[in-house]
Amino acid sequence: MTEHITVAIYARVSTDEQREGKTIEPQLENCRDYCNRQGYEVVAEFPDDGVSGAKPFDERPEGYRLLELARDGLFDKVVIYCVDRLGRNAVKAGIARGELQRLKTPIEFVSQTFDDSPGGRLQFTMFAGFAEYEREIILERTRRGRIARVKSGKYQLGTVPYGYRYQKCDCPERKCLVAVHGTLTCHEEQASVVRQMFEWAASGQGDIAIATRLNKQAVPPPGKDRKGTWERGKWQPQTVLGILTAQRYTGETPYAESPDLIMRCPPLVERNVWLAAQRERQRRRADNARNSVHFFLLRGLVRCRVCGSGYMTRTSRGHKFYRCLARATQHYAPNPEAVRRVHEGTVWSIRAEALEPLVKEAVRALHRDPERWLRNAQLSVQAVAEQASEAGQRVAALERRLEELAREELWAAEQAQKGNISEAVMVQLIDQARAERADVEHGLKLAQQAADGVDWARELAGWMNQMMAPKRVSVWTDEQTGEPVEPTDAEWREKVREVVERWSLRRTGQ
């Protein structure tokens, strides 16, 4: 009596393979015929249609379902047409095969046969490597084809952008359905909406406000129809964000972030309007507060002198604080101990009541006597340059010590391999070298920052030069009486932004 075996069929095609005319149905038919010949009973089929072979098996929709049912023991085996249907990454394909074997549902391939011997596992690894290599070749060919189309003046994109129409090219080989093989023309009705959105953004309106206005005016939003028609619905802030940050509406946009490959299309907004909208968005982002109840003069301007991270604003027990974002959130970092060591002995949290009055007094002094500030900045450049020279010598010495520690670790490993020292002694020597290396790396980071201090001082001197221009120097006086007046919070923030683009805290806390 023959053994009754139940199987599940798994099949997969990616989007690129679908474009080449390959569908998932032939795979399923071949697997069904194979199961009939072997006398297997097919109890389930799992077709992953349009899923990349580089994606882990358990992250695919049907692959995940297959693993869940395999854990329940609903079938004895899994039938797949060939190795590249399991995956086009050798490591991920091996993991998927091992997981199914662990669940006692081994894989049988229709076009290949691999046993569980060392030779069979080697063959499987080789075929999985061939599948990965083939995928890389396909990606490279696709990339070259897209670059060639961009260079020939075609607009390379999967969907038609809002504000444009797609015009098919005169292509004799294929019927083009998307903009990857044609050109874009202006859609006047939608283009007027795009222009209005950029005008609103340049005037200071945010994504939520723009989406609300468009919905009140019953303007049809973009949809996901690849043929260029747009579904009705509601505008979302994310949709507005995508349009306002898209450079294509100026008529040019780089392809694949390459400045040498420029895709061109009809411009819908002028370049200066687009730039004004981006500047206003940056200003709004810097002024946006998580807690709008409290005013922070330097929000978006404070940056850590140690790690370069921005400072976040927080309130605690009635006090306002500026805190280094990297140090305050070190527990979420991959290496919290390294973050703590870098900031050890530095100012990473400071009360706003202590910092903001110093900044205000500095701004007042600058406006009263900019020449004096410029002289002080020039003197600071000289002083920092001398310190940077000494720090440069420390950097060279610490780099040499790092090389010596690397050689010591290698020497310990070689001596243990030759039998001159025990493995325990080798581990002790390597641990000592690595502990010292951590301290040396920390000292090297601080020395490099000190060596770079001259650039920061020169940047400060450049800011002072800008402040000496008559059109930038001003005082706060009443226009009618001529008496000094205290600026409002908004005026203070504007004056501070005129002086600095960021305010760096000194590591000494002075």
- Distance (Å, whole) CA 145 – CA 147: 5
Nearest-CA neighbor of 80 among 57, 46, 49? Answer: 46
Distances (CA, A) of 415 to 374, 402, 419, 432: 61, 20, 6, 16
- Distance (Å, whole) CA 12 – CA 278: 43
Long-range CB pairs of 47-52 (<8 Å, 24+ gap) are 47/10, 47/11, 47/12, 48/10, 48/11, 48/12, 48/13, 49/12, 49/13, 49/18, 49/24, 50/13, 50/14, 50/15, 50/18, 51/12, 51/13, 51/14, 52/14, 52/15, 52/88
What is 213-265 written as a DSSP string?
HHHHTTPPPP---TTS--------HHHHHHHHT-GGGGTEEEETTEEEEEEE-
**Contact criterion met (CB below 8 Å) for 132 and 90:** yes
Provide CB contacts within 8 A for 208, sequence distance 6+: 237
- Distance (Å, whole) CA 309 – CA 447: 18
Is 14 known to be catalytic? Answer: yes
- Distance (Å, whole) CA 194 – CA 199: 9
Catalytic position from the list 14, 192, 292, 389: 14
Residue type, 341: R
Nearest-CA neighbor of 505 among 331, 367, 321, 382? Answer: 321
Could you give the residue numbers annotated as active site? 14
